[in-house]
Structure 1
C-alpha cells in the first residue's frame, strides 16, 4: 500500500506578519543610513530563519494512520493518530508549530500534546476522526 498524505496548510494570522513589518522597518533604516551591507546581511539572516517557517508549516494525515507536524526546516514530528485522545480549541500564545493564534491542541498518549493551527479546523478534525473515531473534539 502506498503512503498517501493529505496536507493541511497552517492558517496564517496577523502575528506571523509582525516579523515582516519589523524587517521592513529595519531594512529602511539601514538603507536610509547608507549601510547597504548591513541591510543585505540582516535580510539574508532573517529570511533564512523566517521563510522556511512561513512557507513550510503544514500538517499531514497519512493513510497509514500517522499525523505529521512540519514547521520550517527543524520541526518535523510524527504521531500515531490512534494515540490521540482529544482535540481542544485554544488561543494560547505559547511557542508552537502554528502560524496563527486560532489553534487547536491535540492530546495524545497519556501526557503529550501539540498545538497547531490548520486552516480548516473542522475538516482537519473530521479527517482525524475518520481514522480514530474515539477522538473527542471540544
Structure 2
C-alpha cells in the first residue's frame, strides 16, 4: 500500500487543441465583424467549459487503494484498484476523461471500464500493479 496519494496528470495531445483552435477562429470572426458582445459571451462560455477540463484532468492513486479519476468540474469517479482486472492501450475516439488519444482502458468489476490518458503510462500501471498484482496489462 501507498503511504501517500500519487497524482498522475493527463497527457495532453494535439486532438484536445482542435476544438480550442476552432473556437478561437470563431472568436476572431466575431471581433472582426464588430460583434463584441458575441465575442465576450463566446469567450466566457469557452473559458467556463474548456479551462476546467484542460487544467483539472488527473488521476490519483490514493493510499486507501482507490483510484480517483477527475476531469473538469463534472466528471469525478472512484474505482477500487482491487476490482481492476485488465488494462489495455487504446486509441478510442469515444468521449473519456482523457486529453490525449494515447489512452489506457481500465476494466473493473464485471462490466465496467474507464478510459484515461496518464502522462507516464508505464509508471501509472506499475503503481496499480503494486496494489493489485493481478492486473493484466496488454500494451
Q: TM-score, normalised by structure 2?
A: 0.96
**Aligned equivalent of 1:71:** 71
SS at match of 2:92: coil
Asked if 1:94 corresponds to 2:94, the answer is yes
Residue pairs, 1:1-138, within 5 angstroms: 4-138=4-138
Question: Could you report, residue by residue, the CA deviation over 1:65-121 in whole angstroms, capped at 9, with x for unpaired residues?
Answer: 000000000000001100000100001000000000000100001111000000000
SS at match of 1:11: coil
Give the number of aligned pairs: 137
Distance 1:28 1:113 in 2: 40
RMSD: 1.2
Cα distance, 1:4 vs structure 2: 2.9
Distance 1:113 1:24 in 2: 34
Instruction: Give structure 1 regions of 4+ aligned residues with deviation exceeding 2 angstroms.
Output: none
Q: TM-score, normalised by structure 1?
A: 0.96
Q: List alignment gaps of at least 5 residues for structure 1.
A: none
Distance 2:24 2:113 in 1: 35
